[in-house]
């Protein structure tokens, strides 16, 4: 069979890994794909000249647009990242009848609907396995492996940096800022860590997973996003005492009147398998009505793991070159004219149990006052733990676990508790999930 | 698009589940597949008349051969199990130009090479996701999701009955026979539990996984198989004291001079994620050179979970109906003329660390004698634990962990130790794996 010619845009961390994997494993990949995958043309402003396999690229230039215009290229791999010029390059490649493989979660989450519509019109494939959970083939699992199922919910640890920070905070009783600095030194966190620690990166990925699971258009702006920067070492410790771990989860759940899409720190029972996914590793738990719970675990980032997903997509697309477009796996798992308009719920409409940490004056009647406010909002309390005051401290941490409650009611209760004169500062609220059934 | 017509052979546990999933989720499945999947013709000697969705089957008869001869049928689902007449039915269906979906691990492990050759000749697909690890899409992950990787090893908990028994033995300090009886009462174990507890079922599945991972023909007869029936409650307890769990693993590993294929009880460090997979659940850990370790977890058996995999295969095959045969995913992951003849090693050639439990006379010099035998075979000892003798007992359990050693050397050492007059009965040997890197 004819070789497939690849055009590569970007040779940073993932781009370099892609060159390495495609060249190092070229024989084995060809034994699987039934044809040679050839790196014909690459574009990068700058790159590490020691990338293994670099010498096997047909031609290396600086102009990414020259690659998407190159008539020899069958598949364009976009690994530049960011919104622009990635969007323009991908749309141009599609317009030129080329298939596209990308690892760009931000691009897909925000511009995926437009890109898939363009691809559909031209009869080409846009593959994006590497955009979610790095090397874990979670998109393939959701879109193909679980295609028999009515998906009920997904809960994923889909940001390695955030998981590394929370794992270190727990294992070593360290503070957030302290661990973040270490993660930056280790290269696990960017100099500007906002995307990771404020949950934006996870929200990009969850937006994609939610569409694949429920057959809805991509709606990044409707995904509720809360980061981990406010979590304190004491929250991790108290959660642990109560039998829970704090994980930064992306949760997509179908419920009666719509779909919940939310990224936030979450208390989960410590015996759950996903509670034991530590360090920079990712894991996605998917609950289908037929299969029950399934979990997918692996490296969520990094040069070679992400390249693993990129190259798997290339092999898939190479097979699809001769398939009639109507019979390919749809970009968003469901046929494009079969997407559903079921609403994504606002966070106020979502129900979860909560962990609350309140700095309250250590005096009689305070707890009754707080319990009264919760009761008035219809919030029932599952457990209360009052810590001993530290020497000379007049405020003590009051830890409460509530039963499931509407976010809207909890917001009102928190407002009222924070207004109490006997309470200092903000109430720390962390949502809880059992991740059962 | 035209509906796809399904012929169903067998309506037992998995067959009934397949009817239920295909009918209950038919709208959602059609939204994904882009066409209707229609249960046109089923054959079963007997079936539960309360199966949900039964009324939507076009025609139900007793003659399975009538289904594979039915000209209306596009895809035959074989869920009869066993070797015969499953083999004849599948070959006949292929001969008639029909695609086949099967959950039959025994059939694929033993007759897969013949069946795939016949399918290749006729240009049809034989899909078997449900044959390994039930609802977990592990075959898709290995064959497609990890296609960029040089797979280094696989280790899987791929028999739910065995895992249930070992989990119960550990959690409740119970004996094997006792838990087996309970598993039988709960319906987790067959009346004749040989296939499950002696590792044959796991060996069928491992044979398939090994071929997919390494591009070798199916070679069930070369897979080393040891069950869990000799594991005693005390072994589980001693392993636990030493920081390990005992799991019944299927392990396929590439090494310098060939491929290891082995099913046996295995000590693994208790902090590994897979060590925490309990009860009837399955999990497969795959180590690829690019992606690193990935893990896939879910229900390995049961009506609806297995049906989930069967129906996902049906959707895949429905998409492949219009694909030219050369561009489909190869049955054994690698193109059929690209399979490799790298040898499967005999167990004597395999190296593992070992846990040994020896009933030795509680008197001076015995431990030195045993250590001397191990030393003479070049086996070095990592840890020794001598338990206190029970009241009135002259023999005490001596627990040893060894460093990695060739199975052949260990066999000789065990023979010599068992011949000692100071040692009673057989030496209990359980292999160990770190499952790291």
- Please judge whether B148 and A315 are an interchain contact, meaning their C-beta atoms are less than 8 angstroms apart: yes
- Same domain, yes or no, for A126 and A180? no
Q: How many CB atoms are located within 10 Å of the residue A184 CB?
A: 15
* CA distance linking residue A185 with residue B17, whole number of Å: 52
Q: Are A158 and A132 within 8 A, CB to CB? A: yes
Chain B partners of A130 at a C-beta cutoff of 8 Å? none
In a domain, A343, yes or no: no
Q: How confident is the model at residue A316 (pLDDT cuts 50, 70, 90)?
A: very high
- Same domain, yes or no, for B311 and B377? no
- Same domain, yes or no, for B294 and B149? yes
Q: CA angle, A375 as apex, A370 and A379 as ends, to 5°?
A: 105
Chain B partners of A148 at a C-beta cutoff of 8 Å? 21-22, 25, 29, 307-312, 314-315
Range of the domain at B81: 4-135+303-338
Q: What pLDDT does B280 receive?
A: 93
**Dihedral of the alpha carbons of A346, A348, A349, A353, in degrees to the nearest 10:** 130
Nearest CA in chain B to A14: B290
User: Which domain-ending residue is among B290, B313, B338?
Assistant: B338
- Same domain, yes or no, for B288 and B309? no
pLDDT in tens, chain B (437 residues): 889 999 999 999 999 999 999 999 999 999 999 999 999 999 999 999 999 999 999 999 999 999 999 999 999 999 999 999 999 999 999 999 999 999 999 999 999 999 999 999 999 999 999 999 999 999 999 999 999 999 999 999 999 999 999 999 999 999 999 999 999 998 888 888 999 999 999 999 999 999 999 999 999 999 999 999 999 999 999 999 999 999 999 999 999 899 999 999 999 999 999 999 999 999 999 999 999 999 999 999 999 999 999 999 999 999 988 787 888 899 999 999 899 999 999 999 999 999 999 999 988 899 999 999 999 999 999 999 988 888 888 899 999 999 999 999 999 999 999 999 999 999 999 999 999 86
Question: Per residue in A137-177, pLDDT tens?
Answer: 999 999 999 999 999 999 999 999 999 999 999 999 999 99
Q: What pLDDT does B172 receive?
A: 93
What are the b/e assignments for A371-409, b being 16+ CB within 10 Å? Answer: eebbeebebeeeeeeeeeeeeeeebbbbbbbbebbbbeb
Domain CATH number, residue A272: 3.30.360.10
User: Whole-prediction pTM value?
Assistant: 0.96
- Please judge whether A330 and B32 are an interchain contact, meaning their C-beta atoms are less than 8 angstroms apart: yes
What are the b/e assignments for B136-147, b being 16+ CB within 10 Å? Answer: bbbbbbbbbbbb
Chain A to chain B, count of Cβ pairs less than 8 Å apart? 235
Domains: count for chain A: 3
Domain CATH number, residue B406: 3.30.70.260
B325 CB contacts (<8 Å, ≥6 apart)?
Answer: B120, B123, B124
Distances in whole angstroms, Cα of residue A102 to Cα of each of A52, A77, A112, A179: 21, 6, 11, 31
% of chain A beyond a pLDDT of 90:
91
Question: What is the interface pTM, i.e. ipTM, of the complex?
Answer: 0.95
End-to-end CA distance of chain B: 47
Give, as one character, the DSSP assignment of residue A142: I
In a domain, A346, yes or no: no
In a domain, B274, yes or no: yes
Quote the minimal CA–CA distance from B417 to chain A in Å: 40
Q: B230 an active-site residue?
A: no
Best residue in A16, A19, A32 for a mutation probing chain B (most B CBs within 10 Å)? A32
Quote the minimal CA–CA distance from B428 to chain A in Å: 31
- Same domain, yes or no, for A288 and A143? yes
Helix or strand or coil: residue A51?
coil
Angle formed by the axes of helices A13-24 and A26-33, nearest 10°: 70
User: Which domain-ending residue is among A314, A338, A362?
Assistant: A338
Question: Which residue among A31, A288, A308 places its CB closest to the CB of B146?
Answer: A308
- Same domain, yes or no, for B142 and B291? yes
Among B304, B308, B283, B309, which residue's Cα sits nearest to residue B295?
Answer: B283
| B268 half-sphere exposure, CB direction, 13 A CA radius | 22
User: Which domain-ending residue is among B316, B338, B360?
Assistant: B338
Residue A436: pLDDT over 90: no
Question: Which residue among B22, B148, B315 places its CB closest to the CB of A29?
Answer: B148
In a domain, A295, yes or no: yes
* CA distance linking residue B423 with residue B427, whole number of Å: 9
* CA distance linking residue A23 with residue A10, whole number of Å: 16
Domain CATH number, residue A54: 3.40.50.720
A18 CB contacts (<8 Å, ≥6 apart)?
Answer: A8, A77, A79, A307, A310, A311
- Same domain, yes or no, for B331 and B241? no
In a domain, B93, yes or no: yes
Q: Are A236 and A256 within 8 A, CB to CB? A: no
Chain A partners of B437 at a C-beta cutoff of 8 Å? none
* CA distance linking residue B196 with residue A163, whole number of Å: 38
- Please judge whether A305 and B319 are an interchain contact, meaning their C-beta atoms are less than 8 angstroms apart: no
Nearest CA in chain B to A147: B312
Question: Which residue among B25, B319, B334 places its CB closest to the CB of A150?
Answer: B25
In a domain, B343, yes or no: no
In a domain, A437, yes or no: no
In a domain, A344, yes or no: no
- Same domain, yes or no, for B309 and B257? no
Q: What pLDDT does B437 receive?
A: 67
Question: Which residue among B33, B292, B330 places its CB closest to the CB of A305?
Answer: B292
Question: Per residue in A177-228, pLDDT tens?
Answer: 999 999 999 888 888 899 999 999 999 999 999 999 999 999 999 999 999 9
- Same domain, yes or no, for A25 and A145? no
Distances in whole angstroms, Cα of residue A202 to Cα of each of A161, A250, A312, B327, B426: 10, 6, 22, 35, 55
Nearest CA in chain B to A295: B297
- Same domain, yes or no, for A97 and A169? no
B391 CB contacts (<8 Å, ≥6 apart)?
Answer: none
Question: Per residue in A54-105, pLDDT tens?
Answer: 999 999 999 999 999 999 999 999 999 999 999 999 999 999 999 999 999 9
- Same domain, yes or no, for A94 and A152? no
- Same domain, yes or no, for A259 and A327? no
């Amino acid at each position: 069979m004819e070789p497939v010619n690849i055009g590569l845009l970007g040779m940073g961390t993932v781009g370099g890994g892609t060159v390495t994997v495609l060249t190092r494993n070229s024989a084995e990949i060809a034994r699987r794909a039934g044809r040679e995958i050839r790196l014909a043309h690459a574009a990068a402003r700058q790159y590490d000249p020691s990338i293994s396999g670099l010498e096997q690229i047909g031609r290396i230039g600086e102009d990414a647009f020259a690659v998407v215009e190159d008539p020899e290229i069958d598949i364009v791999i976009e690994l530049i990242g960011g919104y622009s010029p990635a969007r323009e390059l991908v749309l141009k490649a599609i317009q030129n009848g080329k298939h596209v493989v990308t690892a760009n979660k931000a691009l897909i989450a925000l511009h995926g609907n437009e890109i898939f519509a363009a691809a559909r019109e031209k009869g080409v494939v846009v593959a994006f396995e590497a955009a979610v959970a790095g090397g874990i083939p979670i998109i393939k699992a959701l879109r193909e492996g679980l295609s028999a199922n009515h998906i009920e919910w997904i809960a994923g640890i889909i940001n390695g940096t955030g998981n590394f920070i929370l794992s270190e905070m727990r294992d070593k009783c360290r503070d957030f800022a302290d661990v973040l600095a270490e993660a930056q030194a280790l290269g696990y966190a960017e100099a500007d860590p906002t995307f990771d620690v404020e949950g934006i990166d996870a929200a990009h990925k969850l937006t994609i997973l939610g569409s694949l699971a429920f057959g809805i258009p991509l709606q990044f702006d409707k995904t509720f996003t809360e980061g981990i920067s406010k979590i304190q070492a004491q929250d991790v410790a108290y959660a642990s005492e109560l039998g829970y771990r704090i994980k930064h989860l992306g949760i997509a759940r179908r419920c009666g009147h719509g779909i919940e899409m939310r990224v936030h720190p979450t208390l989960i029972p410590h015996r759950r398998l996903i509670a034991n996914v530590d360090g920079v590793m990712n894991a996605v738990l998917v609950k289908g009505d037929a299969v029950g719970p399934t979990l997918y675990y692996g490296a969520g980032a990094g040069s070679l793991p992400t390249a693993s997903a990129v190259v798997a997509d290339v092999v898939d697309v190479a097979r699809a070159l001769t398939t009639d477009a109507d019979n390919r796996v749809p970009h968003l798992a469901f046929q494009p004219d079969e997407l559903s308009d079921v609403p994504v719920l606002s966070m106020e409409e979502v129900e979860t149990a909560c962990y609350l940490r309140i700095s309250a004056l250590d005096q009689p009647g305070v707890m009754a006052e707080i319990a009264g406010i919760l009761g008035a909002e219809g919030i029932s309390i599952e457990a209360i733990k009052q810590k001993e005051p530290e020497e000379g401290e007049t405020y003590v941490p009051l830890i409460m676990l509530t039963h499931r409650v509407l976010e809207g009611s909890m917001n009102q209760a928190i407002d009222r508790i924070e207004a109490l004169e006997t309470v200092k500062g903000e109430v720390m609220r962390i949502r809880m999930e059992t991740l059962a059934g």
